[in-house]
Amino acid sequence: MRRNQSSKIQKAAATIADQCLSMRIRFLNRTVNSIYDDAYRDIGITAAQGNMLVAIVLNERISPTVLGQRLNIEKSTLSRNLERMRNSDLIEVQEPSSGRSLELVPTKKGHELLLEILPRWKAAQATTRELLGENEATDVAAAVDQAREKLLSD
């Protein structure tokens, strides 16, 4: 019986390791994001901050709540990420002109940083596409885009 139990446990572990998407996506996240973190390090930002800055430049005056919905970032996480970006003068957080939502605006420095980000992003993106393989990279992007659309349509 004990032997039976033990083999059931081993089998469970084997099944999970063999198929688990969480494990794989965590691995992918660590691996790929370290490429972007490395690429941005010399300009003093992280991949997370670079991504958020891009979103804010493209959606000037967006509110934290809406930004959080688009990126699926929890509001408390976002609050602290924005605080750091404000501290390093990448964005400004302005009081609501109407209603109750804050408005996010990139600073001059934030705007200009995008010109430094672009070549570094290109290099990191190329490294990543090469690591994954062109077809696989396209597949992954398509999978995410599709899931994202499904989630945002609710």
Partner DNA sequence: CGACATAGGTTGTATATGCAACACTAAGCG
Partner DNA sequence: CGCTTAGTGTTGCATATACAACCTATGTCG
Q: Which residues bind DNA (CB under 7 A)?
A: 26, 30, 34, 37-38, 46, 48-49, 63-65, 72-77, 79-82, 84, 93, 96, 98-102
Residue 84 contact, options DNA, a second copy, none, Cβ 5-8 Å cut-off depending on partner type = DNA
Residues 23-82 that bind a second copy (CB under 8 A): 23-33, 35-36, 47-48, 50-51, 54-55, 57-58, 71-73
Phi-psi region of 6 (alpha: psi -120 to 50; beta: other; left: phi over 0): alpha
Residue closer to a second copy (CB basis): 46 or 88: 46
Q: Which residue intervals of 41-133 are DSSP H helices?
A: 47-58, 64-71, 75-87, 108-132
Query: What's phi and psi for 105, nearest 5 deg?
Result: -135, 130
